[in-house]
A and B are shown apart, each in its own frame.
Chain A
């Protein structure tokens, strides 16, 4: 199975600042990668698929990039509702696998 590794585990950022999260795959994925946001006590919410396509209703401050084994999620100007945990997921091959998550907390 493909192992997904996210970094950092936790990042502290001030509101209004930019943050970039990383996700690395153990095998090449082309662009078969999705990003999710999870608020406490809630289910994950799809943000990005195809490495860079925003899901319906996702604000433009969220952007994804990357190819094959290195991917990033950037939030250009953090809003209060963006402080959450973010997961990447590969869908190049089954079983689908997720990264362990990056927590974005208020500095």
Chain B
């Protein structure tokens, strides 16, 4: 059974870069598409984008100019970078399996990690 765990700083300063990593266990990262989703009280659930094992990505147009995703198959990890953050980027960030071609629904999800952007 695939398990996902997010890691990274819980506090990021305004205008800096948010960086998170998702470690996948119980399955091979080469097998699926992998998504990042965030949840905030103001915007609800927002899909950020997906990546696959070969590095193919698709990003939400609302964030595309600031988002980069990468994958490290040797570590069974994928990562998210979001540049020039503001308070509006404060949210719980989830990594998850799915959200890409062929399996567009999302399961399972990581437990989520709260990232707060401070001024």
Whether B60 and A91, one on each chain, are in contact in the complex, defined by CB atoms closer than 8 angstroms, is: no
- Chain B residues with Cβ below 8 Å from A44 are 45, 94, 106, 109
Interface positions of B from 103 to 119, Cβ below 8 Å from A: 104-112
A34 at interface by CB-CB < 8 Å: yes
Whether B45 and A87, one on each chain, are in contact in the complex, defined by CB atoms closer than 8 angstroms, is: yes
- Chain A residues with Cβ below 8 Å from B110 are 43
- Chain B residues with Cβ below 8 Å from A97 are 47
Q: Which of B46, B62, B105, B107 is the most central at the interface, judged by chain A CB atoms within 10 Å of its CB?
A: B105
| Cβ contacts A48-76/B at 8 Å (1 or 0 each) | 01000001000000000000000000000
Q: How far is the CA of A19 from the CA of B111 in the complex (A)?
A: 27
* B residues contacting the other copy or chain, number (CB 8 A): 21
A22 at interface by CB-CB < 8 Å: no
* A residues contacting the other copy or chain, number (CB 8 A): 22
Q: How far is the CA of A75 from the CA of B62 in the complex (A)?
A: 34
Q: Which of A55, A89, A94 is the most central at the interface, judged by chain B CB atoms within 10 Å of its CB?
A: A94
| Cβ contacts B83-119/A at 8 Å (1 or 0 each) | 0000000000010100100001111111110000000
Q: How far is the CA of A87 from the CA of B99 in the complex (A)?
A: 15
A84 at interface by CB-CB < 8 Å: no
Whether A34 and B47, one on each chain, are in contact in the complex, defined by CB atoms closer than 8 angstroms, is: no
Whether A43 and B47, one on each chain, are in contact in the complex, defined by CB atoms closer than 8 angstroms, is: no
Q: Which of A43, A89, A100 is the most central at the interface, judged by chain B CB atoms within 10 Å of its CB?
A: A43
Mark A residues whose CB is within 8 Å of B. 1, 32, 34, 36, 42-46, 49, 55, 87, 89, 91, 94-101
CB-CB nearest 10 A-B residue pairs: A91-B104, A43-B109, A46-B107, A98-B45, A96-B47, A49-B105, A34-B105, A95-B60, A100-B44, A43-B112
Apart from A96-B99, A98-B47, what 20 extra A-B contacts exist at CB < 8 Å? Answer: A32-B104, A36-B106, A43-B94, A43-B96, A43-B109, A43-B112, A44-B45, A45-B109, A46-B105, A87-B45, A89-B106, A91-B105, A94-B58, A95-B47, A95-B60, A95-B61, A95-B62, A96-B106, A97-B47, A100-B44
